[in-house]
Amino acid sequence: MLTIIECLAVISGAVFGVLLARRKQMDFVGVFAVACMTAFGGGTLRDVLLDRHPLFWIQHPHYPLIVFVVAIVVSLIPRVPAWIEKWLPIPDAFGLALFSVVGTDYALKAGVAPFVAILFGVITGTFGGVIGEIVCNEVPSLFRPATPLYATCAFTGGLVQVTCLWWQLPFDIVLWVSAGIVVLMRFAALRYQICLRAIGT
């Protein structure tokens, strides 16, 4: 089940990266590079910090192939309509949710404390997008004060996940419920523009 969720997370991250790169009118090399960064960035940082070897996308060589296929398919579209930008939050939200629960679970299995595991989930879910946006010459949405709740959603999902596992609820159900909470929180934050108040204001 964890492998299925991770694979879905890679696809979501790749789609977000491809759309982000196409919005910047990059060529195929740029599209594929940004897709790899958004799909693998957070998980790679997690694996390095947890000293997990090989890195998850090297251990599963079909992941880079999936990203490559996604990049090719989207690159074959002559022109991505301008309105496609409004759909960017959808794959981003699913990538955030799926990567967060996977990252939290990997950290728990590595033996770290529950709170630290939640932070690893946040890192896994958010830093791919941060890297992709930096490469695309944008201020990462994670660090913009006007951005609707983002890392907070991943943190909440991780907290629910750790709590439910402590209660010894079924593992598969815990993963999907935790991911669902992240997605619903993110969509609600986008819909109602729920943001954290800037410090000092």
pLDDT, mean of residues 42-52 = 96
State the DSSP code for 140.
Answer: -
**Has residue 28 got a pLDDT over 60?**
yes
3-state secondary structure 94-108: HHHHHHHHHHHHHHH
User: What does the pLDDT read at residue 74?
Assistant: 81
Q: Which two tokens stand for residue 73?
A: 């398919």
Residue 194 CB contacts under 8 Å (≥ 6 apart), including other chains: 148, 149, 188
State the DSSP code for 77.
Answer: S
User: What does the pLDDT read at residue 201?
Assistant: 55
pLDDT in tens, 75-132: 787 776 666 667 778 888 999 999 999 999 999 999 999 999 999 999 999 999 999 9
User: What does the pLDDT read at residue 83?
Assistant: 64
User: What does the pLDDT read at residue 38?
Assistant: 95
CA-to-CA distance for 172 and 82, rounded, in angstroms?
A: 38
Q: Assign 3-state DSSP to the chain and report helix, strand, coil percentages, each to 5.
A: 75, 0, 25
DSSP letters for 5-42: HHHHHHHHHHHHHHHHHHHTT--HHHHHHHHHHHHHHH
With H, G, I as helix, E, B as strand and everything else as coil, classify residue 72.
Answer: helix
User: What does the pLDDT read at residue 139?
Assistant: 87
Percentage of the chain with pLDDT > 70? Answer: 96
Arithmetic mean of pLDDT over the chain: 91
